[in-house]
Amino acid sequence: MGSLRGGAGGGGGMDEEARIPMVDADEACALLSAATHQYLDVRMWEDFDKGHVAGARNVPYYLSVTPHGKEKNPHFVEQVSALYPKDQHLIVGCRSGIRSKLATADLISADFKNVRNLEGGYLSLLRSANQQQHHPAA
């Protein structure tokens, strides 16, 4: 009788997480400035409306977040597919990088080829842009 803890072959979550392509804020800024990548913001609409990356498109990964749970957008992949071809170079971001990691995994599972999760999310992008303004490269 096997273990309920997921013995042999059971811990696939870590392998899956390791396969999610990541991009840090500095590289993301460079890729977006060079216009080689598009930015997909997966925060909820009200957060997107408070501030977002120039040129970003918004497809919320969650429709609502309450103390009782999160309601995932059941049409997320379909909505992204309506905006972008599956070979589009995308940087996927949320507030802190956790939700966008889930969204990136869903897009990879749906055969998107060139998606990368923004490590640290929109907050890291703001910090990076702020540091570049105060400390321009020589």
Catalytic residues: 94
Separation between Cα atoms, residue 138 and residue 74, nearest integer Å: 47
Separation between Cα atoms, residue 128 and residue 61, nearest integer Å: 24
Cβ pair 101, 21 in contact under 8 A: no
Separation between Cα atoms, residue 138 and residue 125, nearest integer Å: 21
Cβ pair 114, 89 in contact under 8 A: yes
User: Does the CA dihedral 119-124-125-131 come out positive or negative?
Assistant: negative
